[in-house]
Structure 1
């Protein structure tokens, strides 16, 4: 049985803005993306935002950092 993951409302736009500004995704961001990909009720706008984030990582525009949060 998979644990229940629930995305915080507004988390995806916040992640997108933060990643665009700072140029990286933290461990907390990655857990948020995991919850988003497992959420079947995600609307099309949020799903496209997740896709944009993942494409940016693949293309090297956004890096992955091991820190939980960067302040």
Structure 2
């Protein structure tokens, strides 16, 4: 199920927020999923999402619920 986000946050802001706290929450992941499925993303935004995925895979970011 995808959620409509009442407070729109850009991918850049989300990336900065996630790196600042060192973890990505379920809500953050849902926002990324929504952005990937419903929005036309720029090359920069896609690159930021790729960097988040890479950081999680490397263990640099934690995934929390």
Check 1:3–1:30 CA distance in 2 against 1; reply closer, same or farther (3 A cut): closer
**CA distance in 1 between partners of 2:47 and 2:38 (Å):** 13
Unmatched 5+ residue regions in structure 2? Answer: none
Counting only pairs closer than 5 Å after superposition, residues 39-54 of structure 1 correspond to structure 2 as 39=38, 41-54=40-53
TM-score for both structures, normalised by structure 2: 0.79
Q: CA deviation at 1:50?
A: 0.6
* Bigger radius of gyration: 1
Q: CA deviation at 1:28?
A: 1.1
Q: What is the DSSP-based 3-state SS (H/G/I as helix, E as strand, rest coil) of the residue aligned with 1:46?
A: helix
Tell me the equivalent position of 1:14. Answer: 13
Say how many residue pairs are matched.
63
Q: CA deviation at 1:14?
A: 1.2
Contact 1:11 1:32 in 2 (8 A): no
Tell me the equivalent position of 1:69. Answer: none
Unmatched 5+ residue regions in structure 1? Answer: 67-71
Indicate the structure with greater helix content. 2
TM-score for both structures, normalised by structure 1: 0.73
